[in-house]
A and B are shown apart, each in its own frame.
Chain A
Amino acid sequence: MKIKFNLNKKDVIVDVDPSMRLLDVLRNVLHLTGTKEGCGEGSCGACSVLVDNMPYDSCLTPVINVMNKQVMTIEGIRESKEYETIANSFAKMGGSQCGFCTPGMIIVTYALLMKNPNPSEEEIRLALSGNICRCTGYQAIVNAVKDASKGGKHE
């Protein structure tokens, strides 16, 4: 089936089984590998993407669900001004170690700061709670989000 959606600000049409996971469409059909699979069942957030500006687990999302919607992946986000601020804050605070959770963390941070430019620590922890990081202990990521919310100062 042909499915059309807007991906990273460009329209795309894919011809796939409509029940195919959005994650597989992104990674295997469109070859955008910045979105990661950590668990395949909605428990880790490594596969986070934005659908109409809301974070979604792309491993749980059949591609048909994003028909005619706007999808943003790390490949699109990284072109934005906001990304630069967030990435600088992650670097400054040490928010990325092995990096496997990082694209997902950045997506979620981006979505949070769009909605709530000045989140409290509680709000940050809650927003990140669907994204597992096994390396950092989260503290550095929470610090990075805080720093980004203050506009971050470049290194």
Chain B
Amino acid sequence: MLPEYKTSVKKVDNEEKMSGKALFTDDIQMDGVLSAVTVRSKISKGKILNIKLPTLPEGYYFISAKDIVKENVCNIIFSDWPVFADKEINYKGESIGLIVGEDKKICLDLVDQVVIEYEEKEPVFDMKNSAIHKDFEKGDKSVLNDPNLESYTEKFQTGYQEQVYLETQGMLVYLDGDKITVKASMQCPFYIHKAICRTLGYPEDKVRVIQPAVGGAFGGKEHYPSLMGAQLATALVKIKKPIKMVFDRKEDISFTTKRHPSETTISALIDKKGKIRALDIHVSLDAGAYIGCSGVVLSRALIAATNTYKFDYVHISGDAYITNKIPSAAFRGFGSPQSIFAIEMFLAHVAKKFRYPGVLYKNQYLVETGDTTSTNGKFRDKIILKELIVKAKEMSDYDRKEKEYSKPNSYRGIGMSYFLHGCGFTGSGESDLIKAKLIIRKDKNDIVTFYTSQVDFGQGNRTTLKRIVVDTLGIPEDHVIYDAPDTDKTLSTGPTAASRTIIIVGGLAAKAAQHLKDIWVSGKEQEIIEPYVGPDYIHWDEATMQGDAYPGYAWGVNVVEVSFDPITYEVHVEETWSVYDVGHAIDERILVGQADGGILQGLGYGYLEVEEMANGEFRQKTMSDYIVPTSMDAPKMHTAFIDNPFKYGAFGAKGAGELTFVGGAPAVCIAIEQAIKEKIYKIPANPEYLMEILEK
């Protein structure tokens, strides 16, 4: 039976994308465009003593730290990553310079001939140098003194994960008059804009960033393009000719940012009946060589550490460690997949210890409407998690299968994960840092145009945001124009990240459209500039990690069924059932797309995708080594949404992009545990790891 999507509209970019007409960065043709290739460090830590260049043919250039116009720093949340390594090298692959010239092959050759003398130092690869520490607690501490409680501890590890957006990173820069103009595969036009202005010391109106078609991002194009932008803009100022830098897959996998590897230790104090009275959670994240956004990733990991549960007392702490490895950065979920994996597995293991079947054990800890969050904020909006669970059980025939597969040698398993995702930037970030402003205007012919800085890299937000405005105004679709972001035309409505696009920017677009409608005079030019105003109940203290971390939460339940081959140790995911509360589902087809893609990426994270680091270098560097799920690996997926409109989102919608990723890994691992009757402490739970467990 094929689905019918009743609430869906035609996706605005379908035609251009299916026909191959859409222009992605590398598809853009420009006369006289030069290629840039990066010269990278071959050591993990040390000092550059000397750079010896080959003789550069006419028209070929070497651009490096000495060409920096103003500031040798890439503007990222915490700006410690240099545009070009100057004297210090902090990871293998760090950019030292660019070779720029007409023929990419010649550039590649020249890069190979650059000889760099280093003074090598001992690199640090283990998590021992903490750069950021966070710590907070909640509840009644007196329970810690209860002598009748037993202590139980487990440790969990998660590996790197590579985004594998199908279009690799790429950027084109050129001068339009004296304006630096950028077209790139990106997530956040204003991040790139700011990074370029900062390194060049240019005013905002001298830099323009325009978004072409973008082939996937998943967090991987949130920060890295800022570095490319700062580098290429530096080259452009010197060379004054259009320059393009497009990574091949190997360079992209080898040297761009990944999901933070983690180690989480959870200790519980448990009473005689098996009830957890107190919990201590510590999350360690490997930030790599530069901090960048790791502080924010750590915050999210910690805030999500108790997931959908409440306990009498919790102490949560964590560290982000600096190591001499490729910096880790954003990836769908942003820290929460790591800590949610840990708590889901921990509770499954404690349940086993006390012989509770399936999810019965963890159900006693579920948060309810009005409860406090892990940071002593409040879950204000109606929580319908229990309804989600009932529905997911029903769809998957969970209870029967759970019982059946728990028999010895079933080689089949079913696992169920619960999860939530805070939508929007942490705490008061939306009102204090991002301060989104949206322009909507109408011309004399009553044609409405509005602008956001949200990039559609596949999530369908160009369609949904437009629809929000069309439906609010109640005018025909072709009377509304909504194009991809261009920093010359739009005010910043913030980055395309943090599952904020629909809940925050969608809400803002609806409000702006409503205001335009309120003052609408046909035949007259009118304009509204709508600033974001957050719900007034949000109070957040980043230093103490106390208060309301997010304006709203989206919720989900995943059920995953697997079979296990005891000879090859291979796992096959048979089927998945997912139920979500994303507020009100505006466009079902787009949401199902997010749900299917999200869970498959989450499953891959849990059992398939291996990215190992050895001596500061990734072992898997190509798509034949780094395996992502194919159509044969992908299970049949069933998805349902339960309506629970959110007061502050557009048409009641909350975020969905990241939520759908988070539950895949724990659900598949709980299922595998049932199939193999052993415990899993590490992902990816690939055949090698399962063999290790089973043969110990």
Of listed B458, B622, B629, B632, residue having the most chain A CB within 10 A: B458
Query: In the bound complex, what is the Cα–Cα distance between A38 and B213 (angstroms)?
Result: 15
Instruction: Please tell me if A15 contacts chain B, counting CB pairs below 8 Å.
Output: no
Nearest-Cβ distance from residue B560 to partner chain A, whole angstroms: 13
Q: Is the CB of A138 within 8 A of B600?
A: yes
Question: Which of these, B217, B623, B636, contacts A132 with CB under 8 Å?
Answer: B623
Is there an interface contact between B248 and A40, defined as CB atoms closer than 8 Å?
yes
Indicate whether A94 reaches chain B with its CB closer than 8 angstroms. Answer: yes
- B631 close to A146 (CB less than 8 A): no
Asked whether, in the complex, the Cβ of B166 is within 8 Å of the Cβ of A100, the reply is: yes
Whether B355 sits at the interface, judged by CB under 8 Å, is: no
**A68: Cβ under 8 A from any B Cβ:** no
The total of interchain contacts (Cβ-Cβ below 8 angstroms) comes to 177
Counting chain A CB atoms within 10 Å of each CB, which of B165, B215, B457, B595 scores highest? B215
On whether A134 and B22 interact (CB within 8 A), knowing A41-B622, A99-B215, A140-B596, the answer reads no
A89 CA / B443 CA spacing, docked (Å): 36
* A21-61 interface with B by 8 A CB criterion: 27, 31, 33-44, 46
Q: Does the CB pair A94–B5 fall under 8 Å? A: yes
Cβ A93 vs Cβ B166 within 8 A: no
Establish whether residues A91 and B2, one from each chain, have CB atoms under 8 Å apart when the complex forms. no
Does A98 count as interface, using CB distance less than 8 angstroms? yes
Kindly state whether residue B232 has any CB partner on chain A within 8 Å: no
Given A97-B459, A125-B631, A134-B601, is A38 in contact with B20 using a C-beta cutoff of 8 Å?
Answer: no
Q: Are A100 and B460 interface neighbours, CB within 8 A?
A: no
Minimum CB distance partner of A146 in chain B: B2
| Residues in A whose Cβ lies below 8 Å from that of B165 | 98, 100, 134
Taking a contact as CB atoms under 8 Å apart, the answer to whether B166 and A34 are in contact is no
CB-contacts of B26-57 with A (<8 A): 26-27, 29
For residue B30, give the distance in angstroms from its CB to the closest CB of chain A: 12
Contacts of A91 in B (CB 8 A): 10-11, 14, 18
Whether the pair B592, A94 counts as a contact (CB closer than 8 A) is: yes
Q: Indicate which residue in B16, B590, B623 contacts A43 across the interface (CB closer than 8 Å).
A: B623
The listed residue (B20, B23, B249, B629) touching A41 by CB distance below 8 A is: B249
How near does chain B come to A29, taking the closest CB pair, in angstroms?
Answer: 12
Would you list which residues of chain B between 419 and 478 have a CB under 8 Å from chain A?
457-460
Report B-chain residues with C-beta under 8 Å of the C-beta of A125. Answer: 631-632, 634
Q: Which residues of chain A from 56 to 105 have any CB-CB distance to chain B below 8 Å in the complex? A: 73-75, 78, 87, 90-91, 93-94, 96-103
Q: Given the known inter-chain contacts A34-B20, A43-B622, A74-B20, please indicate yes or no for A99 contacting B213, CB distance below 8 A.
A: yes
Please give, as numbers and ranges, the residues of chain A lying within 8 Å of B5 by CB-CB distance.
Answer: 94
Q: Which of B19, B27, B164, B636 contacts A139 (CB 8 A)?
A: B636
Q: Which residue of B lies closest to A137 (CB)?
A: B596
- Give A139 to B589 CA distance when docked, in angstroms: 12
Closest A residue, CB atoms, query B593: A94
Contacts of B593 in A (CB 8 A): 94, 97, 135-137, 140
Q: Is B568 an interface residue (CB 8 A)?
A: no
B17 and A102 contact, CB distance less than 8 A: yes
- Taken residue by residue from 126 to 155, chain A's Cβ proximity to chain B (1 for < 8 Å, 0 otherwise) reads as 101111111111111111001100000001
Given contacts A91-B10, A132-B628, A136-B597, contact A74 B590 (CB under 8 A): no
Most buried by A among B10, B19, B637: B19
Which residues of the other chain, B, contact A98 by a CB distance below 8 angstroms?
17, 165-167, 214-217, 457-458
Chain B: interface secondary structure? loop
The chain B residue sitting closest to A78, CB to CB, is B19
Give the chain A neighbours of B460 by CB distance below 8 A. Answer: 97
Which chain A residue has the least Cβ–Cβ distance from B598? A137
In the assembled complex, which residues on chain A have CB atoms less than 8 Å from the CB atom of B19? 34, 74, 78, 87, 103
Q: Is the CB of A99 within 8 A of B600?
A: no
Shortest CB distance A98–B (Å) = 3
In the complex, whether A7 has a CB less than 8 A from a CB of chain B is no
Beta-carbon contact of A140 and B592 below 8 Å: yes
Do residues A129 and B218 form an inter-chain contact, with CB atoms below 8 A? Answer: no
Q: Is B177 an interface residue, CB under 8 A from the partner?
A: no
Residues of A within 8 A of B629 (CB): 138
Partner of B20, one of A31, A103, A140: A103
Taken residue by residue from 199 to 220, chain B's Cβ proximity to chain A (1 for < 8 Å, 0 otherwise) reads as 0000000000000011111100
Q: Which of B24, B214, B622, B630 contacts A39 (CB 8 A)?
A: B622
Contact partner of B3 (CB less than 8 A), chosen from A93, A135, A136, is A93
B215 touches A137 (CB 8 A): no
A5 → B minimal CB distance (Å): 19
Interface-central residue, A75, A87, A102, A134, by most chain B CB under 10 Å: A134
Q: Is the CB of B166 within 8 A of A142?
A: no
Asked if B322 is an interface residue, CB under 8 A from chain A, the answer is: no
- Listed by A's residue number, 16 A-B pairs whose Cβ atoms lie within 8 Å are A33-B26, A41-B624, A42-B624, A74-B20, A78-B20, A87-B19, A97-B597, A98-B17, A98-B167, A100-B215, A134-B216, A137-B593, A138-B596, A139-B637, A142-B631, A143-B2
Known: A33-B27, A38-B249; 9 extra A-B contacts, CB below 8 A, are: A42-B624, A44-B623, A94-B592, A96-B11, A96-B17, A97-B460, A129-B632, A134-B216, A137-B596
**Would you list the 6 A-B pairs with minimal beta carbon distance, nearest first?**
A34-B20, A99-B17, A100-B215, A98-B458, A137-B596, A97-B458
